[in-house]
Structure 1
């Protein structure tokens, strides 16, 4: 069966629109996690042809995901601030050659768990605390490496072309959905 080229273009435009919606909903930085979870849910529905249009389903999913997510968002901000301080401190120590890669590895693991947590919330988990545990337990090493590669590529793309920060959450949400626990 041959698919039409417009189907691929529709998926691509849904991915970019989701990235823009996630960026818009993430303006108050604390809401970035529920915005990403809503993006994962909207893209999963879009991929399966359920619940169009994407704009309205995204905002409904965002309102649902934002409940109870403030603590998760604040902990994420605190972890990012601590990572920045730790990198600065490690740079001045004699063991920086060993500690700096260990810190980056720890940050990568935390980023994978955070992205997978948002994907678990998108699957319908109401509690963010249980979603963290489920994400850590269900993520296979292979899927974690794929997701870490997607996160790393997203970081490099935004570093190279900062305007992509407005749409990069869409492809990253698609990667989270693709490596997630859906059957």
Structure 2
């Protein structure tokens, strides 16, 4: 019995890394990043519950399905990143920069958690991206502990890619697993 436990854990780990690689491949055009991440969340959620094999084919089917509405969400995320970068530059030259910069980074962390959780909400059954954003924001406010865990996972993903850039090819898999695992009951 014990000899099969490590195989199950290794299979879960390999599914996570394969999902990260598939998400990176599907997210090459930046506008497809949220649908790709959503498909990764959906694939790992199915894998966690033992349904939907093989991962390769289910991922691409899920990606095609979520790409319909996810591109508009991606454009919104890109616009938010641009606004954040501009605000950060403006805040650097303002008198209260010591207070404003940390507040902007905290706001950015909350926005990242809501965006990642939105993808997880769409992955677990919400067909509308608009309603998924509202649901993700409610879940973030209702469960701050889970939001902190997800923010930690996102922060760790950024640090790992900063330390070793090649990890950008697989880091989306563990982040997708964290997003699905910290989501509320659906």
Q: Give me the TM-score of the superposition, normalised by structure 2.
A: 0.95
What is the alpha-carbon distance in structure 2 between the residues aligned to residue 27 and residue 51 of structure 1? Answer: 25
From the two aligned structures, give the one with the greater helix fraction: 2
- Give the 5 Å matches for 1:63-102: 63-102=64-103
What is the alpha-carbon distance in structure 1 between the residues aligned to residue 6 and residue 147 of structure 2? Answer: 31
Please list every run of at least 4 consecutive aligned residues from structure 1 whose deviation after the TM superposition is greater than 4 angstroms: none
Q: Which residue of 2 aligns with 1:42?
A: 43
What is the alpha-carbon distance in structure 2 between the residues aligned to residue 148 and residue 112 of structure 1? Answer: 6
> Residue 167 of structure 1: which of 166, 170, 174 is its match?
170
Q: RMSD of the TM alignment (CA)? A: 1.1
What is the alpha-carbon distance in structure 2 between the residues aligned to residue 161 and residue 92 of structure 1? Answer: 32
> Residue 141 of structure 1: which of 119, 139, 144 is its match?
144
3-state SS, counterpart of residue 125 of structure 2: coil
What is the alpha-carbon distance in structure 2 between the residues aligned to residue 178 and residue 124 of structure 1? Answer: 15
What is the alpha-carbon distance in structure 2 between the residues aligned to residue 138 and residue 145 of structure 1? Answer: 12
- Give the 5 Å matches for 1:147-162: 147-162=150-165
3-state SS, counterpart of residue 49 of structure 1: coil
CA deviation string 1:150-173 (max 9, x = no partner): 111111111111111111000000
Q: Which runs of 5+ in 1 are unaligned?
A: none
3-state SS, counterpart of residue 167 of structure 2: helix
Number of residue pairs aligned between Structure 1 and Structure 2: 183
Q: Which runs of 5+ in 2 are unaligned?
A: none
Q: Which residue of 2 aligns with 1:177?
A: 180
CA deviation string 1:2-32 (max 9, x = no partner): 4521111111110000000000110110110
Q: Give me the TM-score of the superposition, normalised by structure 1.
A: 0.96
What is the alpha-carbon distance in structure 2 between the residues aligned to residue 88 and residue 173 of structure 1? Answer: 30
